[in-house]
A and B are shown apart, each in its own frame.
Chain A
Amino acid sequence: MYLAKIKVTYKPSVLDPQGEVIKSALHRLDYETVEQVVQGKYFEVKLTASDLEDAKQLIESMAEALLINQNTETYDYTVEEVEG
């Protein structure tokens, strides 16, 4: 069994309105040194695969097919073998 931890964020060129709202809320809480907030998504996916390379291929394929919209989002992940 493998456990993938996948982080999805907007590409830098894409406006993130929620991040902007959170930033201004932090400023109102006097965290005035906050310069940028980016809100993303986080997925944990448990899956079976024949080996680590196979697991990586499956994760990349499913991320691009569904978890992200390639127009605006990008992703990053780690994967490790875990006990089922």
Chain B
Amino acid sequence: MKSVVVRFPGSNCDEDMYYALKDLGLAPEFISAQSDASLDEYDAIFLPGGFSYGDYLRTGAIARFSPIMAAVQTAAAQGKIVVGICNGFQILTESGLLPGQLMMNEVPGFICDETELVINQKTSAFTNAYTAEQILVPVAHADGRYYADAETLQRLEDQNQIVFKYAENLNGSENRIAGITNEQGNVLGMMPHPERAVETLLGNTDGQNFFKSILATVAAQGVN
């Protein structure tokens, strides 16, 4: 399998993401958000955390007009794995690939912590390798409060699109939502950072199975 990390101006978790993908066998490359190349050769596309385009106007609002986003839309429509972590999640909601919006935390301020996540969907493309009910994952955001209208929230629940919930609602998200997929289940956005929890040396490896799940999903699709 081959994966790719999209670098936006202002991305700052791109190296961490690349490191985790490489370490766990997802064979990553980097691509610039300014590129209008196709993403056909990749099985999985990762939009990393950071402050793309300074998060001017709204988080992710400018990044979604990056040239690369046309190819990301195409890949998502083809059923390829598309993952947005933190700012990547904000870009996916702004671009309409995921419903809802990430808003300022309920109590304004940057949260930098580790938090327990409940794995709400165990068979998703992103969680199938987990046996644990809950995992500990770093969070680092000021605009992480998931918001969607009541109808959308109901649809997310009914269609099993809520993959991760906060065990404790640290930012005021609706329904304790930490991560969701699209209806097809191939596009995921989440605020917490599994790529920062892959090294024994750093004391937390709960993120490893996130990447192993994706690896298993791509292998099952029979793509290489």
Contacts and interface: CB of A to CB of B under 8 A. Distances in A.
Contacts, number: 31
Contacts of A69: 58, 61, 94, 101
B147 A71 contact: yes
B57 A67 contact: yes
Nearest to B62: A66
Interface in A30-52: none
Contacts of A72: 101, 103, 147
A15 B108 CA distance: 11
Interface of chain B, main secondary structure = loop
Interface in A60-81: 66-67, 69, 71-72
Interface in B98-137: 100-101, 103-108
A20 B185 CA distance: 36
Interface of A: 14-15, 17-18, 21, 66-67, 69, 71-72
**6 shortest interchain CB distances as A-B pairs:** A71-B101, A17-B108, A17-B104, A69-B101, A72-B101, A21-B108
Interface of B: 57-58, 61, 94, 100-101, 103-108, 145, 147-149, 172
